[in-house]
Amino acid sequence: MAYQLYRNTTLGNSLQESLDELIQSQQITPQLALQVLLQFDKAINSALAQRVRNRVNFRGSLNTYRFCDNVWTFVLNDVEFREVTELIKVDKVKIVACDGKRFF
């Protein structure tokens, strides 16, 4: 079982919405949709681990932090994300991070 963390991303949400539509039109069962999502979790986790190789730095001010059930949630303000190629500035960002060492 992989983290279900990535379901709330553009990719994950669009998949969930598509599955919902198919469920509503009764083309698939909810059980099947769940299977698809589980498969998606595996695929995205492994793709991120293996197919992505880039680094980002960021700096900002910490507004709130929370550590619960081994999940960190931060809200930062006035953050600059810096990649080799580009700089991205946002007023507020929420970071949700699961433990990277082990699934548990």
Partner 1 sequence: MANSANTNTVPKLYRSVIEDVINDVRDIFLDDGVDEQVLMELKTLWENKLMQSRAVDGFHSEEQQLLLQVQQQHQPQQQQHHHHHHHQQAQPQQTVPQQAQTQQVLIPASQQAAAPQVIVPDSKLIQHMNASNMSAAATAATLALPAGQLLQVVRAANGAQYIFQPQQSVVLQQQVIPQMQPGGVQAPVIQQVLAPLPGGISPQTGVIIQPQQILFTGNKTQVIPTTVAAPTPAQAQITATGQQQPQAQPAQQQAPLVLQVDGTGDTSSEEDEDEEEDYDDDEEEDKEKDGAEDGQVEEEPLNSEDDVSDEEGQELFDTENVVVCQYDKIHRSKNKWKFHLKDGIMNLNGRDYIFSKAIGDAEW
C-alpha–C-alpha distance, residues 55 and 9, integer Å: 19
Count of residues near partner 1 by CB under 8 A? 71
- Nearest to partner 1 of 69, 86 (CB atom): 86
* Residue type present at position 19: L
Q: Hey, which residues between 2 and 61 contact partner 1 (CB under 8 A)?
A: 3, 5-6, 8-11, 13-15, 17-19, 21-22, 24-29, 31-32, 35-36, 39-40, 42-45, 47-49, 51-61
- Nearest to partner 1 of 69, 76 (CB atom): 76
Contacts with 99 (C-beta within 8 Å, 6 or more apart), sequence order = 70, 71
Among 1, 68, 69, 85, contact with partner 1 (rule: CB under 8 A): 85
C-alpha closest to that of 44 among 83, 9, 82, 73:
9
Task: Note whether 69 binds partner 1 by CB under 8 A.
Answer: no
In the complex, least distance from residue 28 CB atom to partner 1, rounded to whole angstroms: 6
Reported as type and span, the H/E element at residue 74 is strand 71-83
In the complex, least distance from residue 68 CB atom to partner 1, rounded to whole angstroms: 13
Are 22 and 36 contacting, i.e. CB atoms less than 8 angstroms apart?
Answer: no
